[in-house]
Chains A and B, each alone.
Chain A
Amino acid sequence: MAQLNCTDFLNISSLLTEEEIQVQHAARDFTEKEILPIIIKHHREATFPKEILPKMGSLGFLGATLPQEYGCAGLNNVAYGLLMQELERGDSSMRSAASVQGGLVMYPIFTYGSEEQKKKWLPKLASGKAIGCFGLTEPDFGSNPAGMLTKAKKKNPSASGHGGKWILNGAKMWITNGTIADVAVVWAKNEAGKINGFLVEKGAKGFSAPETKGKFSLRASVTSELVLEDVEVPEENRLPKAEGLKAPLNCLTQARYGIAWGALGLAMACYEAAVEYSKTRIQFDKPIGAFQLTQKKLAEMLTEITKGQLLALQLGRLKDSGKMRPEQVSMCKMNNCAIARHITHLAREILGANGILDEYPVIRHMMNIESVYTYEGTHEIHTLVLGEDITGIPAYK
Chain B
Amino acid sequence: MKIAVLLKQTPDTETKIKIKSDASGVDETDIKWIINTYDEYAVEEALRLKEAVGTGEVVIVTAGIKRAVESMRQALAMGADRGILIDTEGLTLDSYTAAVILAKVLPNEKFDIVLAGKQAVDDDCVQVAHGVATLLDWPCVWPIEHIELSGDKKSVMVVRPVSGGTKEVFEVGLPTILCCDKGEHDPRYASLPGIMKAKTKPIQELKAADLLAGETPKVKWVNFSLPPDRQAGKILKGEPEQVCAELVKLLREEAKVI
Contacts and interface: CB of A to CB of B under 8 A. Distances in A.
A29 interface: yes
A2 interface: yes
A68 interface: yes
Contacts of A18: 70, 73, 199
A19 B189 contact: no
Given A22-B77, A75-B196, A59 B191 contact: yes
Contact of B192 (A2, A3, A29, A83): A83
Interface in B193-221: 193-196, 198-199
A60 B32 contact: no
Given A3-B32, A18-B199, A60 B192 contact: yes
B189 A61 contact: no
Contacts of A60: 191-194
Interface in A41-60: 58-60
B189 A29 contact: yes
Contacts of B191: 26, 58-60, 73
Contacts of B174: none
A30 interface: yes
B199 A26 contact: no
B30 to A, nearest CB: 10
Contacts of B32: 3, 5
B195 A23 contact: yes
A73 B193 contact: yes
Nearest to A75: B192
B192 A73 contact: yes
A233 B99 CA distance: 68
Interface string B66-84: 0000100110010000000
Contacts of B198: 19, 22
Given A22-B74, A30-B189, A60-B191, A73 B196 contact: yes
Contacts of B136: none
A99 to B, nearest CB: 15
A59 B192 contact: yes
B194 to A, nearest CB: 8
A68 B193 CA distance: 8
Given A2-B70, A3-B32, A19 B195 contact: yes
Contact of A64 (B70, B74, B77, B192): B192
A326 interface: no
Given A3-B32, A75-B196, A22 B189 contact: no
Contacts, number: 51
Interface residues of A, number: 23
Contacts of A58: 191
Contacts of B77: 22, 26
A19 B70 contact: no
A39 to B, nearest CB: 18
Interface in A6-36: 18-19, 22-23, 25-26, 29-30
B71 to A, nearest CB: 10
Nearest to A22: B195
B181 to A, nearest CB: 20
Interface string A60-74: 110010001000111
A368 B62 CA distance: 45
B190 interface: yes
Nearest to B30: A3
Contact of B196 (A2, A30, A61, A74): A74
A68 B196 CA distance: 10
A175 B43 CA distance: 42
A30 to B, nearest CB: 6
B195 A74 contact: no
A3 B31 CA distance: 10
Contacts of A74: 193, 196
Interface core residue of A26, A72, A74, A79 (most chain B CB under 10 Å): A26
Nearest to B74: A22
Contacts of A61: 192
B225 to A, nearest CB: 26
A26 B196 CA distance: 12
Nearest to B67: A1
Nearest to A79: B192
Contacts of B70: 2, 18
Contacts of A5: 32
Sorted nearest first, the 5 A-B pairs with minimum C-beta distance are A60-B192, A73-B192, A59-B191, A73-B193, A60-B193
Given A19-B198, A19-B199, A73-B193, 17 more contacts: A18-B70, A19-B195, A22-B73, A23-B192, A23-B195, A29-B189, A58-B191, A59-B189, A60-B191, A68-B193, A68-B196, A72-B193, A73-B196, A74-B196, A75-B192, A75-B196, A79-B192
